[in-house]
Amino acid sequence: MVFQLTQKLVFPDPHYGEPDGLLAVGGDLSVDRLLLAYSNGIFPWYAFREKQIQWWCPLKRFVIFPNEIHISHSMRTFMNKEQYGVSFNQAFHEVIQTCGNLRMEETGAWLGKDIMKAYIRLHEQGFATSVEVWEESCLVGGLYGVTLGKCFFGESMFSLVPNASKLALIYLALIYLAQTFQKLGGTLIDCQFETPHLKSMGGRYIDYEEYMRYVQEPLESL
């Protein structure tokens, strides 16, 4: 069943959604609604050409645990060359804009101006993070997502050169989450959907109940 949301700040039980994970349409992209959504394992997909906000919550969640991330031999060799630099939260606007521009002509493109503005507001309030990959001063890859509780909810990534998005994900797991986020007990990267790229790096499915135990766990004190 697909529910119609109103301006009331509430979501239906995800167990009553469609088998593919579509739960509801409508509502808005306010910071409060987005935080409520992510805290329940729900994420938006804004079909901006149809002016429709969709809310998804698959009951099988494809995730990466940072301590399980797989780095292939060829990727380790690539990293050892130190050809690219990596930063965190230095170019959030550019990362989300590039993710949107590269997919603008795709069927089902969802990163329109309204949802970009919504994630920028989350970033400004400390709830969204970007990873940037640089070739000298040129942005050649990156990713962004929402940070809430112990979890990082991945939203989109891009590569303008081979392996750039893989490098961003590795640095997210091994540097940002391990050294910064894991101080608070951060343990999980939500990938939303399975892709061969993410599966090759250690992604696997867990059920919604196990997933929500991670999402709802209180942060450990520093």
Tens of pLDDT along 157-204? 999 999 999 999 998 887 776 666 555 555 789 998 898 989 999 999
Q: Which amino acid is at 160?
A: L
Residue-level pLDDT at 187: 77
106 pLDDT band (50/70/90 cuts)?
A: low
User: 155 with 98: CB under 8 angstroms?
Assistant: no
Laid out side by side, the sheet with 188-190 consists of: 85-88, 128-135, 138-148, 151-159, 188-190, 60-64, 204-207
Q: Write the pLDDT tens digit of every residue in 68-91.
A: 888 999 999 989 988 999 999 999
Could you tell me the two tokens for 73?
Answer: 């031999």
What ranges do the domains of the chain cover?
Answer: 3-59, 62-216
Residue-level pLDDT at 110: 66
107 pLDDT band (50/70/90 cuts)?
A: low
Could you tell me the two tokens for 24?
Answer: 């509801």
Q: Spell out a b/e string for 86-102, using b for 16 or more CB atoms within 10 Å of the CB, else e.
A: bebeebbeebbbbbbee
222 pLDDT band (50/70/90 cuts)?
A: very low
Could you tell me the two tokens for 57?
Answer: 């919550």
User: 80 with 165: CB under 8 angstroms?
Assistant: no
10 Å CB burial of residue 42 (0-12, 13-18, 19+) is buried
Could you tell me the two tokens for 171?
Answer: 């640095």
Residue-level pLDDT at 102: 80
How far apart, in whole angstroms, are the C-alpha atoms of residue 6 and residue 12?
12
Residue-level pLDDT at 63: 95
Give the CA distances from residue 60 to residues 83, 138, 161, 207, 209, in Å, rounded to whole numbers and listed in that order: 37, 37, 32, 5, 9
164-166-168 Cα angle (round to 5):
70
User: 198 with 132: CB under 8 angstroms?
Assistant: no
Residue-level pLDDT at 221: 41
Residue 52 or residue 218, greater confidence:
52
CATH entry, 3-59, from 3.40.50.1100, 3.30.70.3550, 2.60.40.10, 3.90.76.10: 3.30.70.3550
User: 28 with 36: CB under 8 angstroms?
Assistant: no
Could you tell me the two tokens for 193?
Answer: 């959907």
Q: Write the pLDDT tens digit of every residue in 48-71.
A: 566 789 999 999 999 998 888 889
Residue-level pLDDT at 216: 87
Give the CA distances from residue 122 to residues 56, 116, 144, in Å, rounded to whole numbers and listed in that order: 19, 10, 11
The H-or-E segment that residue 155 falls in is strand 151-159
Residue-level pLDDT at 220: 54
CATH code for 62-216?
Answer: 3.40.630.70
Q: Write the pLDDT tens digit of every residue in 16-35.
A: 999 999 999 999 999 999 99
Beta bridge partners of 9: none
